[in-house]
């Protein structure tokens, strides 16, 4: 089993297509490898009850729900799966729980691992600090990360989790008041939760980045940005095509061998993923790039 993390960083690293939409693949950008997609009819996701204490009231929870709902509206119109919000949970662990109890989790990490974990801790080499110490382990300049676990032969997704870098970024939920820079107040836009989440949910359902003008899946974001809240026509086409209503979800390579489908077909796995982060004051443009982790793949 394999997992990938998609993230937003402050440096432009990867060449990105301008196609209306680009599907995530086992090897990013390699058409010889399978695309990633859900086959479940219903995918339940959960918000961690901790929320983001720096965001007023319940607004971060509400913003997250709106972001998922904007995708669900499209799935309801032309797709074959349902994105359903489950009850909030105390879970702070991302990745695929193979032994049961797996959840698709959305959470904010508001402590930087480098500040709370000793530099000699083995978790650094194992990429396990985030779960072990409930902290942000990825790059400072990453706003959020979506960690997706899938079968690398079939491309079928088993789990996807979204982590927000609240250790570094000031997440806001209002749409008015203009762009604000630290110190952030409650009535301006710094890093918008819904804007960020809508992009990350695109990764959650199997989209990679595109430089198509106006796409929710553009690999860059600006402080104060709200435009990704509105899902573009290309991303909508992805839903209506890949998850076409009344049809099976579409793989990219055929045939997908039925006997290879499902988690039971795999041994050993790990998963992790995420979105972007805001850079230092010097660089305000944000770019998304992808990162792939592979562990325990036989």
Q: Which stretches of the chain bind Zn ion, using CB under 5 A?
A: 6, 288
- Residue whose CB is less far from Zn ion, 70 or 132: 70
- Residue whose CB is less far from Zn ion, 9 or 63: 9
Tell the smallest beta-carbon distance from residue 221 to Zn ion (Å): 9
- Residue whose CB is less far from Zn ion, 199 or 236: 199
Tell the smallest beta-carbon distance from residue 260 to Zn ion (Å): 28
Tell the smallest beta-carbon distance from residue 232 to Zn ion (Å): 14
Tell the smallest beta-carbon distance from residue 164 to Zn ion (Å): 13
Tokens of 219: 């690999």
Q: How far apart are CA 86 and CA 84, in angstroms?
A: 6
Which residue number places its CB atom closest to Zn ion? 288
Place of tokens 């058409």: 31
Residues 6+ apart with CB under 8 A from 119: none
Rg (CA), the chain: 18
- Residue whose CB is less far from Zn ion, 130 or 277: 277
Q: How far apart are CA 200 and CA 202, in angstroms?
A: 5
- Residue whose CB is less far from Zn ion, 161 or 266: 161
- Residue whose CB is less far from Zn ion, 166 or 180: 166
- Residue whose CB is less far from Zn ion, 192 or 266: 192
Tell the smallest beta-carbon distance from residue 274 to Zn ion (Å): 9
Tell the smallest beta-carbon distance from residue 184 to Zn ion (Å): 23
Decide: 208 and 33 in contact? Cβ < 8 Å.
Answer: no
Tell the smallest beta-carbon distance from residue 6 to Zn ion (Å): 4
């Amino acid at each position: 089993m394999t997992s990938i993390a998609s993230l937003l960083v402050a440096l432009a690293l990867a060449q990105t297509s301008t196609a209306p939409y680009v599907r995530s693949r086992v090897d990013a950008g390699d058409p010889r490898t399978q695309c990633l997609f859900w086959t479940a009819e219903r995918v339940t996701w959960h918000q961690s009850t901790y929320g983001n204490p720096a965001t007023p009231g319940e607004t971060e929870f509400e913003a997250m729900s709106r972001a998922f709902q904007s995708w669900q509206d499209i799935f309801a119109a032309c797709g074959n799966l349902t994105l359903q919000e489950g009850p909030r949970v105390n879970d702070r662990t991302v990745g695929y729980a193979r032994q049961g109890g797996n959840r698709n989790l959305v959470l904010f990490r508001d402590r930087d691992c480098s500040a709370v974990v000793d530099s000699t801790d083995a978790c650094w080499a194992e990429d396990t600090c985030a779960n072990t110490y409930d902290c942000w382990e990825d790059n400072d300049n990453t706003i959020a990360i979506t960690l997706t676990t899938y079968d690398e032969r079939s491309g079928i997704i088993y789990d996807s989790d979204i982590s927000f870098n609240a250790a570094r970024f000031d997440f806001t939920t209002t749409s008015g008041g203009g762009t604000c820079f630290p110190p952030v107040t409650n009535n301006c836009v710094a890093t918008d939760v819904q804007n960020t989440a809508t992009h990350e949910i695109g990764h959650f359902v199997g989209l990679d980045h595109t430089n198509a003008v106006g796409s929710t899946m553009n690999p860059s974001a600006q402080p104060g940005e709200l435009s990704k809240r509105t899902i573009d026509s290309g991303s909508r086409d992805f839903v209506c095509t890949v998850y076409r209503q009344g049809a099976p979800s579409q793989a990219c390579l055929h045939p997908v061998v039925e006997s290879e489908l499902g988690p039971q077909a795999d041994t050993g796995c790990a998963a992790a993923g995420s979105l972007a982060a805001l850079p230092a004051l010097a660089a305000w443009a944000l770019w998304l790039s992808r990162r792939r982790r592979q562990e325990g793949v036989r």
